[in-house]
Amino acid sequence: MLSVCRQYIKDIHFAEDVMVQGFLKMFNKLDTFKFEGSFEGWLRRIMIRESISYLRKQQFVVYDDEVYEKNQSEEISQSTDLDTEHIQQLIDALPQGYKMVFVLYTVEGYKHKEIAEMLSITESTSKTQLLKARKLLQGQLRKQNSIGYGNR
């Protein structure tokens, strides 16, 4: 479950705190689990909602292009080996709003309507954020590939 929280929260220490809060919520709400789906899926949803709640409380979620310029200056590993940690670094460099929509859609498999409800945004905002996140990631990958292979 730490990896679920880590997908949303960049700092591992804060992700651990959110995971602990998620487990506390799970134990407090265990009697509400109806055995209609997988327990792991139910627990994942709790962790996702706790992560989103944490980010909202910290006011890290901004659905705006201005955040991208700030994140552009952040160092990203120059490795051309696309291991899991490297991909996570690229996702972490996305503006928080883009990142949340990207992870909810591509990793967790939520539909835009569900994402819109979870994040209190419109479906079109969800779709736009996903499109922008993909473009930014593709640009970073192209940039790193050209640096890695010596082509500029």
Together in a domain, 96 and 119? yes
Work out the burial of residue 76: count CB atoms within 10 Å of its CB; fewer than 13 is exposed, 13-18 middle, 19 or more buried.
Answer: middle
Last residue of a domain, one of 31, 60, 89: 60
Instruction: Residue 137: count other Cβ atoms within 10 Å of its Cβ.
Output: 18
**Residue-wise pLDDT tens digits, 14-40:** 999 999 999 999 999 998 888 888 999
* Single-letter residue type at 147: I
Together in a domain, 102 and 133? yes
Say how far apart CA 91 and CA 140 lie, in whole Å.
Answer: 10
**Domains in the chain: how many in total?**
2
Together in a domain, 148 and 77? yes
Say how far apart CA 129 and CA 50 lie, in whole Å.
Answer: 21
Range of the domain at 99: 61-152
116 or 82: which carries more pLDDT confidence? 116
pTM higher than 0.85: no
